[in-house]
Every structure is written in structure tokens, then in C-alpha cells.
């Protein structure tokens, strides 16, 4: 006999009227960043547990790419014990050979308000990492759905990564979030109390040192972990918490109905909980991002420049009142830290890819061998196979030979969009398609279904059958994706908030310039260099075409977008007749992408070591290392 629970309402975000707040003006706070006296040394075997909804094959957007890249770089470049906790989505059974690790249970209220134990199994597999002749291992733990409690037993029954956040009629997204957070907290507590030090190990297992929470949907792990630690039979030091805010435009809006929280939160008096946490509650909803900011030891943000502007100004964002006071308090004590993310230059990798190799489109590994001046030396014997521009052309020829593109497309610029089909940003697509058709360019729109009506997409194809291709089937994207990136001449990203970092950097790595709007892009402001004209001279050190975005004057923004499209296509046509210029430009773009390597000197890996140290020192003054500070 299984126990069920009943939904209150199937929503994850409040309406605008529900989270209305009075506008306030806050005094700027100096951004301190990481204390310059902190060293990156950590005790050997320091155990880091990343909690994320996305990792590896379970990647739907930039979050998965960031967490995967960070964990991989940490595994090969430090003495840390790197672990990842994520849901065990059903499609992952075909991706990884996971074994059962432990069965645990968490309490959830049934339809009568009585506590029932939801039993779940955690699975484990080892992800081996190789990079620059270094090797490492990531322990990946996957939380299964509770088999004995509908509808939670449907939590992670998902067929493809594109559907990670797709709602189900029978299961509110809120419940899925809260269940995963509670189960993850229970598992972390288990790992921190039931140590399994091997008999001949050189050192004792450390338990859990740092829990690194990625994204606001995992923020409740902090609250559940606190309760779980209090209930644990074997007392050890509490793990330090590092909470990473992914963005400033909607992370702080994520909230849960208190009635749903009550189904999972084991407190004696829910009214007392509401009173103690009243600053996080509005209209009977718990806003978890501000809670996580206050209750973590250190809060990081995915851009140092933007983190500074949030607390010092002039950056402003809607409903900042929900989280900014909490951030300012953290900033005052140097626990609000912006860390520029990295980019995994090994995946996807145009220099090492079997699909590109089989189609004669693999990029030549001579980026550091050939100097730009070499291309002007007639005495050097540089063959077509030495040119990246030729590899990109071969990728396009392959797509033609396979019937994906037409013969005419060989002489056309290929413009690629890769992202979600959502209303935000998509208001530009009809105008962009008509402009590109008039410029005789091929436009490929590739991505995941979201809230933009598919019928409108199909109507666009009917209007521009020779200039537009739309891909939303996962299997089709998997088949053609890497070749489209290799063949693309221009990458179109109308809404920078939509995974700009990962998509833009991937585009540059494949030698493709970016078209986007000029709203704040954090540390990518230093990477995406707009083509500008100054005193009638074109500045050639560019990799992007940025148009001004003004939501109050969309018509003006659309005209700016059309101008950038025309500019980019015109440049492509010019370079198409000058192979040397084309080759130099492509190589410049790739070098720009490599500047965001996770393992760059003084980059995010070293910075996160310092952050983890700061977080651990909030819990214990002794980290068991000889030298903590200069």
C-alpha cells in the first residue's frame, strides 16, 4: 500500500502581484572580494559536495556546463575530494553504469497531514577526468525517486535532458524541488556521519567539508541540512555552505508556498518557523534565495564585475528588495564574492571530436605553432588542411552532402541560434529571419521547446522555406549539433540572459563571431569585444556585433539588430574572398575563448579554493594545515 500526497497548486513562481514589494533605495557598500591575504592551500582530501540539478549528460543549459566544468577542473588540479549530488533522472540509466550505494528515507506528510517515510536509493558512479596529462575522479551520487510514495515516485522520470524542468500534471515542480533538497540533505548528513575510512588509508576520511549549492532551486538544502544535522545520532562538525547565485534577474524570485514547505519541513511549530523566518516570507510564500544568502557561510556570484556593481552600483534590477539587503550584509563582511566562471575547452572540442574527424572537419591543432605572420610568408608551405577556415567550410560541405543544407548554402553565411524557444528574446526572431532572408543567409534555429508557440515557428518556416531551418527534436540536435557549430559563420544570441556565457564562448571556440544585445554581461564584457567605428577607422580587434537593447523602445532595438546582422553578413562576404583574413579572424576568436579556460592562472579554481577556506574557517579555526594565511 503506497501513501500519496495532494497538491496545493502547481506553481514554482509567484505572480507579480503576489511578490509585490515597496521600492527602496539602498546605500552602496564597498565590494571587498576575496581577502588578498588568503592562500589557496586546503587540507589534503578536503571534501567538496556540489549540489546541482544538472551535471554531465544531465545538462539542459549553462548551469550543467558550469558545474561539470568546475568539478572536472577541480578534480585534476587540486588535492580536493570532489563529489556531485544530482537527481537520478531515468534517462541517465543509459548514460552511466551506476551502482546502488545506500538506501535512505525522508519524512513527507501524506494527504492526512501524517508523516510517512519516503524511501529512496542513492546511486553512485565514478567520473574519470583527464586533462593536460593529469587525471582525477569525481564521485557522482544520484538521488532516486521514492518508489513508495506517489506522486513523488515520478520526480525524476524524465526521458531527455531537455525536459528537466518540464512540469507534470500530477507532480508540482515545487514538490520535486523540495523532495530533492530534503533527500540531498539527508544523504549529505549520512556521508558526514557514517565515515568509511579504508583500513590502510593514509589519512582518516574527513566527512563533508563544504557543500556547494548551485542555483536557487537547491537553496532549501541549507534549511533541511540544519534540521538533519540536529537530528543526526553521530555529531560531527557541520559542513560549511557556499551558495552560488546564477543570475540577478530571476534567481531571487524563486519561492514556495508555505503549505508545500510544511509537507517536507520537520518543525514542531510551522507558525514559529514563519515567525523566525518572516523576513523571507511574503504573501505566504517562502523566498529561498534570500534565506540561502543569509544562512550560508559565503555567497558567490557568476561574475566578479557584476557582483561589484550589485553592491556598489549602478546595477539595478527588478524586485531587488527581495535579496539585495541580504547581499549587502554579506558584502560588508567580505562574504559576497564574484568569481568569473570558466569554460570547459575540452567538451565540446573542435580539435578533438570523432564526428568532425570522420567528416574531415576537425580543426588542426596548430593554434600555437603557426604565427599570424606565417600566413603572409610565401615561402612557407601551408596546406589547406592546416587552416581552420577550411575545416569550417568542410563542416558545411558535410551538412550539404548529408542533405541537411542545400548546395546554394555553400555560398551563403550560416547563422546559428542555440537556446530555448521562449518568449523572452524571441520577439526579435521574425524580424531577424526576414532580414537574413533578404541578405540571402541561411538561418538555423536550434534549441529546446519552452513557452514560445511551436505553431509560430512552423509558420516562419512556411514563409521562408529556403532560408530557415528549425530544430527542436533532441535526437536531431544531437546528430547535427557539433557540425552546425563548426560550420556556423555567425552565432545569434538576441537575449544575453539566455545562457550567454556558455553559448557565446562555445561559438568563439568554434571560430564564430557573436551577435547579441549590449546589456550588462558581467565578465563577458571583457571577452565579447564589439565591432565599433572610431574616427572613421574600424577597430579590428573584435569578436562580436552588439546592438543596443531598450525594452521601452523595441522598434529602435530591432533596427539596431538588423544593422548588426547586415554588418556581420557584409564582413563574412568580404572575408569569404580573402582566405588569409578569414583564417586570422577565426584564430583570433578561438584565442578569445581560451581566455575563459577553467584552469587559467589565477582563475576560478584557485579562487574557489580560497572561498572554501573562508567558508570552512566560519565553522572551525583549525583546518589541519600548517599555513592558512600569509
Over residues 513-529, the pLDDT tens digits come to 999 887 655 556 657 88
- Does the pLDDT at position 629 exceed 90? no
| Amino acid 630: pLDDT | 34
- Does the pLDDT at position 362 exceed 50? yes
Q: What is the mean pLDDT of residues 223-252?
A: 84
Contact 460, 323 (CB under 8 A): no
| Amino acid 186: pLDDT | 95
What torsion, rounded to 10 degrees, do the Cα atoms 568, 574, 575, 581 define? -110
pLDDT, tens digit (0-9, with 9 covering 90-100), for 182-221 = 999 999 999 998 765 554 444 456 789 999 999 999 999 9
- Does the pLDDT at position 16 exceed 50? no
Q: State the cell numbers at 515.
A: 551577435
Model confidence band, residue 376 (pLDDT cutoffs 50, 70, 90): low
Give the CATH number of domain 411-592. Answer: 3.40.50.2000
Would you report the helix, strand and coil content of the chain in percent, each value rounded to 5?
40, 20, 40
pLDDT, tens digit (0-9, with 9 covering 90-100), for 487-507 = 999 999 886 554 567 788 899
Give the CATH number of domain 47-342+603-617. Answer: 3.40.50.2000
| Amino acid 195: pLDDT | 64
Helix (H, G, I), strand (E, B) or coil at 380: coil
CA distance 274 to 287: 12
High-pLDDT (> 90) share of the chain, %: 60
Contact 425, 622 (CB under 8 A): no
CATH 3.40.50.2000 residue spans of the chain: 47-342+603-617, 411-592
| Amino acid 498: pLDDT | 47
| Amino acid 522: pLDDT | 52
Q: State the cell numbers at 144.
A: 532516486
Sequential DSSP letters for 233-300? SS--PPPEEEEEE--SSSGGG-EEEHHHHHTT---S-HHHHHHHTGGGEETTEEEHHHHHHHHSSEEE
Q: What is the mean pLDDT of residues 602-618?
A: 95
End-to-end CA distance of the chain: 61
- Beta-strand ranges (E) seen in 284-413 are 285-287, 298-301, 336-338
Closest CA to 177 of 49, 13, 420: 13
Which of 65-79, 316-330, 526-540 shows the lowest mean pLDDT across its residues? 526-540
- The helix or strand, by DSSP H or E, that contains position 226, with its residue range, turns out to be helix 221-231
Model confidence band, residue 567 (pLDDT cutoffs 50, 70, 90): very high
Burial 27-64 (b: 16+ CB within 10 A, else e): eebebbbbeeebebbbbebbbbbbbbbbbbebbbbbbb
Model confidence band, residue 12 (pLDDT cutoffs 50, 70, 90): very low
Mean pLDDT of the chain: 87
- Does the pLDDT at position 248 exceed 70? yes
High-pLDDT (> 70) share of the chain, %: 86
- Does the pLDDT at position 627 exceed 50? no
CA distance 311 to 598: 26
Cell 571583457: give the residue. Answer: 526
Q: State the cell numbers at 414.
A: 550560416
Q: What is the mean pLDDT of residues 300-320?
A: 92
- Does the pLDDT at position 625 exceed 90? no
| Amino acid 51: pLDDT | 99
Q: Which residues pair with 448 in a beta bridge?
A: 420
pTM of the model: 0.86
Higher pLDDT, 344 or 181: 181
| Amino acid 206: pLDDT | 73
Residue 477: phi and psi, rounded to 5, are -60, -40
Max mean pLDDT range (226-230, 335-339, 424-428, 457-461): 335-339
Amino acid at each position: 500500500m503506497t501513501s500519496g500526497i495532494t497538491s496545493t497548486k502547481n506553481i514554482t513562481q509567484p505572480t507579480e502581484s503576489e511578490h509585490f514589494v515597496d521600492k527602496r533605495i539602498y546605500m552602496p557598500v564597498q565590494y571587498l572580494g576575496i581577502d588578498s591575504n588568503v592562500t589557496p592551500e586546503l587540507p589534503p582530501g578536503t571534501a567538496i559536495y556540489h549540489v546541482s540539478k544538472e551535471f554531465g549528460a544531465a545538462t539542459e543549459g549553462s548551469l550543467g556546463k558550469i558545474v561539470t566544468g568546475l568539478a572536472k577542473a577541480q578534480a585534476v588540479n587540486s588535492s580536493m575530494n570532489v563529489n556531485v549530488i544530482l537527481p537520478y533522472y531515468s534517462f541517465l540509466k543509459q548514460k552511466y553504469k551506476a551502482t546502488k550505494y545506500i538506501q535512505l528515507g525522508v519524512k513527507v506528510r501524506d494527504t492526512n497531514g501524517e508523516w510517512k517515510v519516503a524511501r529512496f536509493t542513492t546511486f553512485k558512479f565514478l567520473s574519470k577526468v583527464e586533462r593536460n596529462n593529469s587525471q582525477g575522479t569525481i564521485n557522482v551520487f544520484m538521488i532516486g525517486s521514492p518508489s513508495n510514495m506517489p506522486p513523488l515516485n515520478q520526480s525524476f522520470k524524465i526521458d531527455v535532458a531537455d525536459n528537466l524542468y518540464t512540469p507534470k500534471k500530477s507532480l508540482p515542480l515545487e514538490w520535486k524541488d523540495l523532495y530533492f533538497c530534503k533527500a540531498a540533505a539527508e544523504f549529505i548528513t549520512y556521508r558526514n556521519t557514517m565515515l568509511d575510512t579504508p583500513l590502510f588509508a593514509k589519512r582518516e576520511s574527513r566527512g563533508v567539508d563544504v557543500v556547494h549549492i548551485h542555483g536557487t532551486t537547491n537553496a532549501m538544502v541549507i534549511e533541511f541540512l540544519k534540521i538533519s544535522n540536529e537530528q543526526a545520532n553521530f555529531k560531527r562538525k557541520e559542513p560549511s555552505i557556499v551558495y552560488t547565485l546564477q543570475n540577478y534577474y530571476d534567481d531571487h524570485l524563486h519561492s514556495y508556498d508555505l503549505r508545500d514547505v510544511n509537507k517536507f519541513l520537520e518543525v514542531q511549530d510551522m507558525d514559529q518557523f514563519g515567525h523566525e523566518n518572516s523576513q523571507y516570507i511574503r504573501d505566504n510564500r517562502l523566498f529561498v534565495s534570500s534565506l540561502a544568502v543569509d544562512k550560508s557561510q559565503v555567497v558567490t556570484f557568476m561574475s566578479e564585475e557584476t557582483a561589484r556593481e550589485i553592491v556598489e552600483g549602478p546595477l539595478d534590477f527588478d524586485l531587488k528588495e527581495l535579496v539585495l539587503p541580504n547581499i549587502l550584509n554579506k558584502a560588508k563582511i567580505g562574504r559576497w564574492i564574484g568569481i568569473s566562471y570558466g569554460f570547459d575547452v575540452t567538451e565540446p572540442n573542435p580539435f578533438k571530436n570523432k564526428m568532425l574527424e570522420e567528416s574531415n572537419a576537425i580543426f588542426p591543432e596548430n593554434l600555437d605553432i603557426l604565427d599570424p605572420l606565417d600566413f603572409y610568408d610565401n615561402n612557407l608551405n601551408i596546406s589547406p588542411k592546416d587552416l581552420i577556415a577550411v575545416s569550417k567550410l568542410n563542416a558545411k560541405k558535410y551538412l550539404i552532402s548529408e542533405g541537411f543544407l542545400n548546395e546554394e548554402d555553400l555560398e551563403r553565411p550560416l547563422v546559428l541560434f542555440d537556446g530555448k524557444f521562449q518568449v523572452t528574446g524571441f520577439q526579435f526572431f521574425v524580424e531577424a529571419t526576414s532580414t537574413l532572408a533578404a541578405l540571402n543567409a541561411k538561418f538555423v534555429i536550434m534549441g529546446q521547446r519552452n513557452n514560445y508557440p511551436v505553431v509560430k515557428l512552423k509558420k516562419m518556416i512556411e514563409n521562408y522555406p529556403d532560408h530557415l531551418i528549425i530544430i527542436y527534436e533532441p535526437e536531431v540536435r544531437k546528430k547535427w549539433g557539433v557540425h552546425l557549430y563548426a560550420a556556423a559563420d555567425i552565432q545569434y544570441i538576441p537575449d544575453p540572459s539566455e545562457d550567454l556565457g556558455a553559448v557565446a564562448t562555445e561559438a568563439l571556440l568554434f571560430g564564430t563571431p557573436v551577435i547579441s544585445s549590449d546589456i550588462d554581461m558581467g565578465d563577458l564584457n571583457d571577452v565579447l569585444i564589439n565591432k565599433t567605428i572610431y574616427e572613421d577607422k574600424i577597430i579590428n580587434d573584435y569578436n562580436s556585433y552588439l546592438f543596443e537593447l531598450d525594452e521601452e523602445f523595441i522598434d529602435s532595438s530591432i533596427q539596431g539588430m538588423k544593422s548588426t546582422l547586415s554588418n556581420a553578413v557584409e564582413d563574412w562576404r568580404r572575408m569569404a574572398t580573402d582566405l588569409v583574413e578569414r583564417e586570422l579572424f577565426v584564430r583570433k576568436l578561438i584565442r578569445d575563448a581560451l581566455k575563459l579556460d577553467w584552469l587559467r592562472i589565477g582563475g576560478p579554481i584557485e579562487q574557489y579554493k580560497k572561498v572554501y577556506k573562508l567558508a570552512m574557517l566560519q565553522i572551525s579555526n583549525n583546518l589541519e594545515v600548517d599555513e592558512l594565511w600569509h
